[in-house]
A and B are shown apart, each in its own frame.
Chain A
């Protein structure tokens, strides 16, 4: 168990460019979540997948944000036409399902810090 990994750890981009972040969950976890955290705030939920199905995406911040999990393993989060307000830490988490007996909570990766200049 190597934990949740995210790449890159830091990304600096110019306004208007597209960026893509990758998340690799804990191998036996079937749920994968994306959150955004700005300075001084708690993480804010964006979207989640169960296996390859995206079950909730209404809280993605705008239509410039999209996420995929094509084979039910790793996931990508893409932001198109970045704006300075997109600067934040993007966090990925994973968990298992199966009821209270098996659920152990969400495990978070180290995050990708995005700076839009």
Chain B
């Protein structure tokens, strides 16, 4: 069974800092990995999708990398802003179901 772990569980940073969120998974036989953002009480917003054949994807201030062999992905957020405050979820697709970590709760203070 695929296990997904996200570290840290919570993070508080001042505005402007660059930060890294970590995701690890136990089974490297994956189709793709998706990073989501979730605001309190809301649904999930897809941020980045990395196919299993890719090493990284970029969107604006976000960059996600994937190392299948070591079972790791990182989400890099550049120049953080208070509007980035949310929970960030990593999800591994092993065929159809997404297996999620518990998320990293990010607070960016002005």
A residues near B (Cβ < 8 Å) are 4, 6, 31, 33, 35, 40-45, 48, 55-56, 59, 91, 93, 100, 103-111, 113
Contacts and interface: CB of A to CB of B under 8 A. Distances in A.
Nearest to B46: A105
A42 B32 contact: no
29 contacts: A6-B43, A31-B96, A35-B98, A40-B102, A42-B100, A42-B101, A42-B102, A43-B89, A43-B98, A44-B100, A45-B97, A45-B99, A48-B97, A91-B43, A91-B44, A93-B44, A93-B98, A100-B53, A104-B49, A105-B49, A106-B91, A106-B93, A106-B98, A108-B43, A108-B44, A110-B42, A110-B43, A111-B42, A113-B41
B36 interface: yes
Contacts of A107: 46
Given A43-B89, A106-B34, 6 more contacts: A33-B98, A42-B4, A43-B98, A91-B43, A100-B53, A111-B42
Size category of the B interface is 20 to 34
A105 B32 contact: yes
Closest 5 CB pairs of A and B: A42-B100, A45-B97, A105-B49, A108-B44, A110-B43
B3 to A, nearest CB: 11
Contacts of A31: 96
A80 B100 CA distance: 26
A91 to B, nearest CB: 6
Contacts of B44: 43, 91, 93, 108
A102 B47 CA distance: 17
Contacts of A91: 43-44
Interface in B55-89: 89
A93 B43 CA distance: 10
A105 B34 CA distance: 7
A46 B49 CA distance: 22
B51 interface: yes
Contacts of A43: 44, 89, 91, 98, 100
Contacts of B103: 42
Interface in B1-43: 4, 32, 34, 36, 41-43
